[in-house]
């Protein structure tokens, strides 16, 4: 019985670690405004450490599609 609890505890810990790294691997998008009040977006990919700045959400989608089709 102790072994089963230990094994299930280990599996739970392993799952939590996996979820943490998967969650932090997603690209992050931040909406910002310039001095004139215009909206722009900054995107950062923690896996590759690439970043880019865009003026629209459609540009972000294009970048993500291009970025992940490599």
End-to-end CA distance of the chain: 48
- By CB neighbour count within 10 A (0-12 exposed, 13-18 middle, 19+ buried), where does 8 fall? exposed
Q: Report yes or no on whether pTM surpasses 0.85.
A: no
Query: What is the number of helices (H) and of strands (E) in the chain?
Result: 2, 3
pLDDT digits (tens, 9 = 90+) for 16-42: 777 766 667 788 899 999 999 999 999
pLDDT digits (tens, 9 = 90+) for 37-58: 999 999 998 888 889 999 999 9
Of 18, 16, 19, 68, the C-alpha closest to 47 is 68
pLDDT band for position 11 (cuts 50, 70, 90): confident
CA separation for the pair 6, 28 (Å, rounded): 36
């Amino acid at each position: 019985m102790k072994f089963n609890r230990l094994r299930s505890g280990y599996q739970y810990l392993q799952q939590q670690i996996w979820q943490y790294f998967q969650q932090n691997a997603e690209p992050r998008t931040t909406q910002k405004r310039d001095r004139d009040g215009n909206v722009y977006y900054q995107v950062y990919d923690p896996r590759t450490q690439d970043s880019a700045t865009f003026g629209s959400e459609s540009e972000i989608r294009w970048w993500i599609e291009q970025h992940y089709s490599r």
